[in-house]
Structure 1
Amino acid sequence: MKRPLCPVRRAFSPWDDPGEQPLIEFRNISKRFGSFIAVDNLSLKIFKREFHALLGASGCGKTTLMRMLAGFEEPSEGRIFLEGQDLTGTPAHKRPFNMMFQSYALFPHMSAARNIAFGLEMERLPALEIKKRVWEMLSLVRLEGFAKRKPHQLSGGQRQRVALARSLVKRPKVLLLDEPLAALDKKLRENTQLELMNLQEQMRMTFLIVTHDQEEAMTVADRISVMDKGKILQNATPGEIYEQPASRFVAEFIGDINVLDGQITTKQQRNVRIFSSVLGAHLDVRYSTPAKVGDSAALAVRPEKMRLSLEKPEEPETNAIPGEVWDIAYMGDVSIYHIKVAETQTLRAIVANTSRLVERPITWDDQVWLSWDSDAGVILTR
């Protein structure tokens, strides 16, 4: 029986231990292509057995950073260390990494077993050792009955698992995954994410994944580095990034969020009041911020933390603003309400569809109250 992942992942946090040495360290790394700066003076530590995600839009520098680690690109400045050893000048084939590409890059004329065995054959391992390792990998990815099939005889998910087995069979210290699930459909992608997490835990390996898919990063990673313009804007656990984004970019890139610009009018420890000129109202926030009275700031609230009602709520420590239902998006499990609260401001609230939808208690053009608790939002100052 497989060991459940939850207790393992919950207890895993080597980055919080000042005595823990990183497995990989990027130290002041920059990479330029002519006048274009792909990676800009970036530093990052990745720890043994960590599943780390580099997350960002196309062109943010995440793939370039991975390619430098793999040895396919050389940094313009800075150093990369593996277990304290400088990798500068070490060719790609001598680095203890394997990379799984988005295209899978399987040999079309070889069977699944031969594709997996190829790297071991190049290292001239004994035939019995190769056979043993290949069957171990086929069993691990649950493809024992597909060993003799060629790539065109396999489904997309099966090809993905062959590529994964080929990457793992050489037992690298780190597996590098470059958008490995992008070609899969949504349901298969979700199932494969869980398989990746289980494989990573079973093999007790370090995985580094590059992805632009926020849900994928939130699902598989122990920590996420959110990147933009060659820099890491925030490096934290998925929960921290979602609930405590460090900047407006991170807040808007990860999931859906409502942002109300304003100015801090009062502040007492964690009790902060912001005046929104768009709403013409004061909003209360329980959140620690270094910002001072008079500073410009934004209040950010996730749509699922907002409530809708036809009557004004009277609960203490609750923000409530009037609005009009502008649009409703029915998503099956939830409905997303777009509430116009000012001429230039629309906010979103997510309402769970907990019963069969026959008639909406709140529908288009209704005058409603949008409310949220004072500790539901965060203050963004950059």
Structure 2
Amino acid sequence: MAKKPLGPVRRTFSPWEEPSNQPFIEFQSVTKTFGDHIAVDNLSLKIYKREFHALLGGSGCGKTTMMRMLAGFEQPTSGCILLEGEDITRVPPHKRPVNMMFQSYALFPHMSVWDNIAFGLKQEAFSKREISARVAEMLRLVKLEPFARRKPHQLSGGQRQRVALARSLAKRPKVLLLDEPLAALDKKLREETQIELMNLQEELRMTFLIVTHDQEEAMNLADRISVMDAGHILQVATPGEIYEQPSSRYVADFIGDINFFECTVKGMNASVATLDSAELGTTLQVEVGEKPQLGSSVTLAVRPEKLRISFEKPEGENQNILQGEVWDIAYMGDVSIYHIKVSQDHTIRTIVTNTTRLVERPITWEDKVWLAFDYDAGVLLTA
């Protein structure tokens, strides 16, 4: 029986859940050093055919080094890289069925859109007929047919991005590598292009690997995300699992906004742990999968949208209730972020969706309010 997914999924695609499926790309105990610096440290990862996989992390975490090793631009210090079960660790870049789209796009300014897309095909000595057919196909895919004879400087940033994408796809690689491909685009165009990328990947039925430091981009695009830090992969999971069930405090803090409560395990009753929070001066309850050790130090993590805010004390069972004072408010248009001071040294963030334009009595600064969150709203972290 398939496990119930955490959070919505953009498509029913999960080959990693079937043990008999062989990975399309596999990093086996790969280490890469530059002098005394360890960029990638004994890392293993499996990526499956037709998967849109994201390597997510801050600057210097090793994600770009991983991509460059897969492309062949860097050689692992130790370990090996497999593609369709074949060791490609020492295969030169031009002989790998892999293509890379760079952040800078690297278009030839003196060439037209048509010639930029055709360049790699000409280098590989494709016939004129095949080049014409392949370029026409790419122009259709990226919706740039009317711009075929324009030069890069005559295009918008989004159009140049699509030319670079078409050129990367023209040779029909088995894997497309995307190195921060949308970083130069404004927010609205970036969101539109993300949808185009997802649709294109599904239409071509290809394997895409994207490197990004943008958590929203990874969450929007990827079937699975590898969260990286200091050359290690901390968690590999779907966006919903990464967000709702982070494996560590680092992952929880890196993906989205979150509240942390430092606690001590006080007791257990069936699947509910009772936690003593010294910083809040109260006890909290949380549903757990694995029972924590009594007396151990743990962190309770709760996303801001899981908390409810009200003037009246909430009623009902199976919820944690706290009282505090509105310390600050950030109005974001669609939502408002409230910072509630619940103790001398602790402030909790909660999110309220602005579903109506006007409210009779809005919650505002210095108001005394109640906060509530269900027992199953939090995640207990031990790492």
TM range (shorter): over 0.9
Contact 2:9 2:240 in 1 (8 A): no
> Residue type matched to 2:70 in 1?
L
2:30 maps to 1:39:
no
2:226 maps to 1:225:
yes
2:275 maps to 1:283:
no
Within a 5 Å distance, the mapping from 1:306-317 to structure 2 comes to 306-317=307-318
Q: For residues 76 and 152 of structure 1, what CA distance do their matches in structure 2 show? A: 41
Where does residue 211 of structure 2 map in the other structure? 210
Q: For residues 293 and 190 of structure 1, what CA distance do their matches in structure 2 show? A: 46
> Residue type matched to 1:301 in 2?
V
Where does residue 242 of structure 1 map in the other structure? 243
Q: What fraction of aligned residue pairs are identical, expressed as a percent?
A: 69
1:37 counterpart SS class: strand
2:50 maps to 1:49:
yes
Q: Taking structure 1 as reference, are residues 325 and 244 closer, same or farther at Cα in structure 2, changes over 3 Å only?
A: same
Q: Taking structure 1 as reference, are residues 109 and 360 closer, same or farther at Cα in structure 2, changes over 3 Å only?
A: farther
> Residue type matched to 1:132 in 2?
A
Contact 1:263 1:295 in 2 (8 A): yes
2:198 maps to 1:197:
yes
2:150 maps to 1:129:
no
Q: For residues 311 and 168 of structure 1, what CA distance do their matches in structure 2 show? A: 58
Within a 5 Å distance, the mapping from 1:1-382 to structure 2 comes to 9-357=10-358, 360-382=361-383
Deviates most, 247-256 or 354-363? 354-363
Q: Taking structure 1 as reference, are residues 74 and 360 closer, same or farther at Cα in structure 2, changes over 3 Å only?
A: farther
1:269 to partner: Cα distance = 4.1
Where does residue 3 of structure 2 map in the other structure? none
> Residue type matched to 2:263 in 1?
G
1:88 to partner: Cα distance = 2.2
> Residue type matched to 1:41 in 2?
N
Q: For residues 261 and 171 of structure 2, what CA distance do their matches in structure 1 show? A: 51
1:361 to partner: Cα distance = 2.4
Q: Taking structure 1 as reference, are residues 242 and 125 closer, same or farther at Cα in structure 2, changes over 3 Å only?
A: same
Contact 1:23 1:82 in 2 (8 A): yes
> Residue type matched to 1:190 in 2?
E
Give 5+ residue unaligned stretches, structure 1.
1-6
Q: For residues 343 and 27 of structure 2, what CA distance do their matches in structure 1 show? A: 46
Moved over 2 A (4+): 7-10, 357-361
Deviates most, 262-271 or 135-144? 262-271
1:311 to partner: Cα distance = 1.5
Contact 1:269 1:288 in 2 (8 A): no
Contact 1:46 1:52 in 2 (8 A): yes
Contact 2:273 2:291 in 1 (8 A): no
Q: For residues 331 and 103 of structure 1, what CA distance do their matches in structure 2 show? A: 31
Q: TM-score, normalised by structure 2?
A: 0.97
Give 5+ residue unaligned stretches, structure 2.
1-7
1:250 counterpart SS class: helix
2:377 counterpart SS class: coil
1:102 counterpart SS class: coil
Q: For residues 269 and 21 of structure 2, what CA distance do their matches in structure 1 show? A: 37
1:30-83 alpha-carbon deviations (Å, 9 max, x no partner): 101111110011000000000000000000000000000000000011110011
Q: For residues 270 and 37 of structure 2, what CA distance do their matches in structure 1 show? A: 44
Q: For residues 229 and 88 of structure 1, what CA distance do their matches in structure 2 show? A: 22
Q: For residues 227 and 72 of structure 1, what CA distance do their matches in structure 2 show? A: 20
1:284 counterpart SS class: strand
1:209-258 alpha-carbon deviations (Å, 9 max, x no partner): 00000000000000000000000000000000000000000000000000
Q: TM-score, normalised by structure 1?
A: 0.97
Contact 1:31 1:77 in 2 (8 A): yes
1:8-41 alpha-carbon deviations (Å, 9 max, x no partner): 9532000000110000000000101111110011
Where does residue 4 of structure 2 map in the other structure? none
Contact 1:261 1:299 in 2 (8 A): yes
Q: For residues 225 and 53 of structure 1, what CA distance do their matches in structure 2 show? A: 6
Contact 1:59 1:229 in 2 (8 A): yes
Q: Taking structure 1 as reference, are residues 11 and 46 closer, same or farther at Cα in structure 2, changes over 3 Å only?
A: same
1:287 to partner: Cα distance = 2.1
Deviates most, 282-291 or 134-143? 282-291
> Residue type matched to 2:295 in 1?
G
1:22 counterpart SS class: coil
Contact 1:52 1:208 in 2 (8 A): yes
Q: For residues 336 and 296 of structure 2, what CA distance do their matches in structure 1 show? A: 35
> Residue type matched to 1:381 in 2?
T
Between Structure 1 and Structure 2, how many residues are aligned?
A: 376
> Residue type matched to 1:192 in 2?
T
Contact 1:121 1:130 in 2 (8 A): yes
1:80-121 alpha-carbon deviations (Å, 9 max, x no partner): 001111112100100100000000000000000100000000
